[in-house]
Structure 1
Amino acid sequence: MPTFSEVYGKLIEKGLGKAISSRGTEYRLESRNGNIIASPKSGILTIHEDCWGKAITCQGTRAGGIYNGSYSIYDWYRDNN
């Protein structure tokens, strides 16, 4: 699995990314201010390095869908590496 730093850097290099949860929610991914931001149609999910890969973020928000969805953040990284 890629590290937070690897994915963060790839998002800077490539621009926006995409992840799709197992329920079909599409997230726009971007690197911003040292964090990875995942934005569905409404709301925002902030992933800090210390909560990378965890189903619940530091703020208590559910994030599992971006890691284990039908097109995860890991899939995006693999396809863009």
Structure 2
Amino acid sequence: MANTDFIKEIAGEAQQIYKKHRILASLIIAQGCLESAWGTSELATKGHNLFGMKGEYNGQYVIMQTWEVINGENVQVPAKFRKYPSW
């Protein structure tokens, strides 16, 4: 998917979020592009999760490897990330 196509795909929802929560659509789109590699990251494709939100959504999640600091050391661990029905 081209970068412009990704923006077009999420722009409508970003505008709805702005109307409801007053978070600028441009910021939502920019953050979504940055954190999901324009919708191409594994988390974005497997879980429709553009912002790296951990946990569950309506009981749905995907397990992904993530880096955490434990006892002062960087370690890679599996973690639950929310899986959404769509972006």
What TM-score comes out, normalization by structure 2 length? 0.29
What TM-score comes out, normalization by structure 1 length? 0.31
Structure number having the greater helix percentage = 2
Larger of the two Rg values belongs to structure: 2
